[in-house]
Structure 1
Amino acid sequence: MRAGTMTSERLVRLSLDRIAEIDKAGPRLNSVLTVNPRALSDARRLDQERRAGRVRGPLHGVPVLLKDNIDTADGTATTAGSLALVDNVTLRDAPIVKRLADAGAVVIGKTNLSEWANFRSTRSISGWSGVGGLVRNPYGLDRTACGSSSGSGAAVAAGLTAIAIGTETNGSVTCPAAMTGVVGLKPTVGLVSRTFIVPISPEQDTAGPMTRTVADAAAVLTAIAGSDPADPATREADRRKTDYVAALDAQSLKGARIGVLRNISGRHPDVDALYDQALAAMREAGAVLVEVKGPDDKVLEQVGSASGDALRSEFRAALDAYLATTPPQVKTRTLDQLIAFNAAEPRETPLFGQEIFEQSAKAPAATDPALRKKRADARKLAADTLDTLMREANVVALVSPSGGPPSISDPVAGGRFFGSPSTLPAVSGYPHLTVPMGYVRGLPVGISFLGPAWSEARLLSLGHAFELKTQARRSPEFLPSVNARPEVARAYDPR
């Protein structure tokens, strides 16, 4: 667009055409729920601005998809994947959407997700919603795209857009990013506004970028970071934010002391081999790697259990508050009414129930003193654990595999959980970046960079240097199954 060989209108049209060809037809990814009817007119307006010499920044005229739990004023509904919210046309932009628009990005639509951000059932299938069905992984259509920001990850991986926004409470940006072979950043809680985003918990929720490169994630974070008077958690954001693109340094690994976590090592030899290769690449780039023992499994269990109890109470209070602001045509205005709606609507429960909803309805009030202490203790334990690991090893960041290759989406036995480093940064509110690390039988695996609060600039710079060094990411082939890969097919039937 700077060179004049591409316009925003043309780029948006290409994205919309690709959504029609690949997401709705072709391999049918089910990653996009709806398109913005104003997208092309918005792009034309931005092209006019560019011709007039006004360029808002690196996102000027660039298409972006939003997870469908983020309110927009474009006339599309915000459903959180639920049939109960198909009439939730709020006609209001969440502050994060306004920041993207001010930066010149063009919202072209909303992405499918694990319904209610994977917080309805203990047996939920990641990437499935009553509104959109199952998101399919572009690297293996029978494989999970993880959740809950599954549609955002799959859409970016498939080239439907360069940029999408996801949201995370625990792993919902980083897991789908890793399993669809893209970059995903869960920022420090409080760096990005959560106003007018369908909530789970004000203690852990945050939105974050999902992109094909770290530089793109840095550009998006630069646009969306900042304080919001309606979200008290963001009071420090204006003081803490920076130009994350300017902070990128291709040589940032040189001399950087990085702690090596191996909590999920030994679960798959190919993942272990990829991790060893990634660590070797960091050493070649000049990083000083320090083996770090921990965190202790009992600590992880304690943090996860206490956080899980708190989330159920926080969810009910936060969701009821959000539903109270929805337009009159939305009839389900409390958690109790949602439970009744799901019980009466067979399209909502063909695969799993709503156990978490029911548990949340019976949970103590979010203001209960014992619950508040449990939440505070969990947050402190998570933060202290990460801080201690980094301080004792004298490192600026920790690395770990983000998880394993995506498992098969299985409505009978459920998906296999490989393991993830997401819980401690999620409960502490610390940032978590995942970057493509490599592939196992063509299925993507990511590497995670963890750091203290407000360390996004350093993590993005380290991830950028790693990305440039390894060039690990490759485009998906949209194979129906890993079994269709030639080396597997030959081994299965050598005759």
Structure 2
Amino acid sequence: MATFHSFLPFFLILLNTYLATSLNPTFPIKEATIKDLQTAFHESKLTSKQLVKYYLNQIQRLNPLLRAVIEVNPDALKQAEESDRRRARSKKCSKLNGIPILIKDNIASKDGMNTTAGSFALLGSVVKRDAGVVKRLRKAGAVILGKASLSEWANFRSSNAPSGWCARGGQGQNPYNLSASPCGSSSGSAIAVAANMVTVTLGTETDGSILCPSSVNSVVGIKPTLGLTSRAGVIPITPTQDTVGPICRTVADATYVLDTIAGYDPYDSKATMDARKYIPQGGYAQFLKLDGLKGKRLGILRKPFFDDMFPQGSSAFKHYFRVLRAKGAVLVDNLELPNMDELMSSNDEMMVMLAEFKVSLNSYLKELISSPVRSLADVIAFNNNQAQKEMIKEYDQAIFFYAEATKGIGLQEKKSLATLAKLSRDGFEKVMIENKLDAIITPGYSFSSVLAIGGFPGISVPAGYDEYGVPFGVCFGGLKGSEPKLIEIAYAFEQATKIRKPPTF
């Protein structure tokens, strides 16, 4: 298996060989949406192969600084050529046909790339099959361009490693302010799409790992309802909270990707079967409505979110509240979650995560065709033996130690699961139902734990930039299966504000 860095000669050959076949300069690929690209394809202004070459060049130029990509796919150009041939045969191709996508490096792909969660411990491991979401992307004709970097082990190894760091990829950089955190754990996915190194990406979330990097990199992230997208083939943390979702530059692009990856998977049968009922007939794209805010009841949680956690965005959000009302939304202000203090001080979420991580990871590792490690204990030992490469002295593996000490889902873990369910039922769900809300608005990713413990969906949309140029977002969260409403709200907000701007680093 080859790493990104070993592909540098490959990149140089590509550049020398293909620069003569330059892209049509009249078509601006930078910031282009899926719809823009598909129009260019069908008007013969662009081919998928040219688009992939463009992004390979972008990765070659930008990745040494931004560290968003761990590997590129050696088959990407071949996949692009197949997409072009498919389009030549039929005008009825999928919206994602020929569209390059980076997938987070904890999402399995059965090809020439590794799946390592950013760790050297899994370098050279061989997966049985594509992850469920990757299988759906391939069926839609998408080009799997490569693997995006991440916070190592989805930010579940170390108690002090910075967001966006992993041993294989190095430290990911926020393209809007290189000294600011890119947030994690889907940092590479957000950085790459923000910096126009790819069209769209996939991330994963356990608690904030899509919503946070989307917010601070000025992109759109959808954290779906638990089970709406398959987790099969994804290096796990906890089946109680893990989910896979798109990170893109626009709500429309994220919606097109969600349409493709949502659905039943026999390898994640219970969760995807339970969530199947939430998928609307006709898909999610039908909810991309300019008047999507009309009549929507939106709850505003002033404390502790807007007032305490995010005072720097107060003037911007006051303006947005006026915009929401002007577009027909009904704002239900000054709401509070009755058990917010209890939720924030509870250690029940971590207790469940630690126990489920050990069980789930051991199961994942044992199912690999081949692997240098077969258990969490093996990974800990590998890190100790390769302490310099894995930077164990600088960034510990304390979370691994705590997880290894657990003994499965016992009475205490079951009690914690019941407590988390009660916190959701008596807090977020109660407020939503009693106030007849379609969504709750919070700044940035501050609401991620509330959405995580209940398996609820959320969408982060760009909302502005602070005095240092660091982006912040607005999050719309709702009850399970409320993606149609959230898409209407997020799309209408995005189109009414059009805040996003590309980075200028």
* TM-score calculated relative to the size of structure 2: 0.88
**1:429-448 equivalent positions in 2, closer than 5 A:** 429-441=455-467, 442-448=469-475
Paired residue for 2:326?
284
Paired residue for 1:235?
273
Paired residue for 1:270?
312
Deviation at 1:53, TM superposition (A): 1.1
Which letter maps to 1:43?
A
Paired residue for 1:209?
246
Deviation at 1:387, TM superposition (A): 1.3
Paired residue for 1:163?
200
Q: Distance in 1 between matches of 2:357 and 2:486?
A: 30
Paired residue for 1:491?
none
Paired residue for 1:464?
491
Paired residue for 1:417?
none
Q: For residue 236 of structure 1, give the secondary structure of its aligned residue in structure 2.
A: helix
Which letter maps to 1:362?
A
Gaps of 5+ in 2: 1-40
Contact 2:125–2:372 (8 Å) recurs in 1: no
Contact 2:128–2:368 (8 Å) recurs in 1: no
Contact 2:343–2:423 (8 Å) recurs in 1: no
Alpha-carbon deviations, 1:349-393, whole Å to 9, x = none? 142101110000112312x13312311321332244111111222
Which letter maps to 1:320?
N
1:422 aligns with 2:448: yes
Contact 1:257–1:287 (8 Å) recurs in 2: yes
Q: Distance in 1 between matches of 2:171 and 2:417?
A: 33
Deviates more, 1:158-167 or 1:370-379: 370-379
Q: For residue 277 of structure 1, give the secondary structure of its aligned residue in structure 2.
A: helix
* TM-score calculated relative to the size of structure 1: 0.90
Paired residue for 1:372?
414
Gaps of 5+ in 1: 404-419, 479-495
Paired residue for 1:338?
379
Paired residue for 1:41?
78
Q: Distance in 1 between matches of 2:405 and 2:393?
A: 24
Q: Distance in 2 between matches of 1:438 and 1:162?
A: 22
Q: Distance in 2 between matches of 1:14 and 1:350?
A: 39
Contact 1:174–1:402 (8 Å) recurs in 2: yes
Alpha-carbon deviations, 1:320-351, whole Å to 9, x = none? 000101233x2211111111111221221142
Which letter maps to 1:238?
R
Q: 1:237 to 1:7 in 2, by over 3 A?
A: farther
Alpha-carbon deviations, 1:263-293, whole Å to 9, x = none? 2223454311222122121112111101142
1:473 aligns with 2:496: no
Q: Distance in 2 between matches of 1:99 and 1:455?
A: 22
Deviation at 1:299, TM superposition (A): 2.8
Match of 1:21 among 61, 64, 73: 61
Which letter maps to 2:384?
A
- State the superposition RMSD in angstroms: 1.4
1:316 aligns with 2:343: no
Matched residues, number:
456
Q: Distance in 1 between matches of 2:334 and 2:406?
A: 37
Q: Distance in 2 between matches of 1:258 and 1:354?
A: 41
Q: For residue 116 of structure 2, give the secondary structure of its aligned residue in structure 1.
A: coil
Which letter maps to 1:229?
P
Deviates more, 1:161-170 or 1:55-64: 55-64
Alpha-carbon deviations, 1:380-438, whole Å to 9, x = none? 322441111112222111001014xxxxxxxxxxxxxxxx1100110100001100001
Paired residue for 2:30?
none
Contact 1:60–1:105 (8 Å) recurs in 2: yes
Alpha-carbon deviations, 1:152-198, whole Å to 9, x = none? 00001001112100000000000001010000011000100001100
Which letter maps to 2:60?
A
Which letter maps to 1:250?
L
Q: 1:350 to 1:477 in 2, by over 3 A?
A: farther
Q: Distance in 2 between matches of 1:158 and 1:228?
A: 32
Deviation at 1:238, TM superposition (A): 3.5
Q: Distance in 2 between matches of 1:230 and 1:177?
A: 28
Alpha-carbon deviations, 1:192-221, whole Å to 9, x = none? 000110000011000000000000011000
Q: Distance in 1 between matches of 2:503 and 2:267?
A: 40
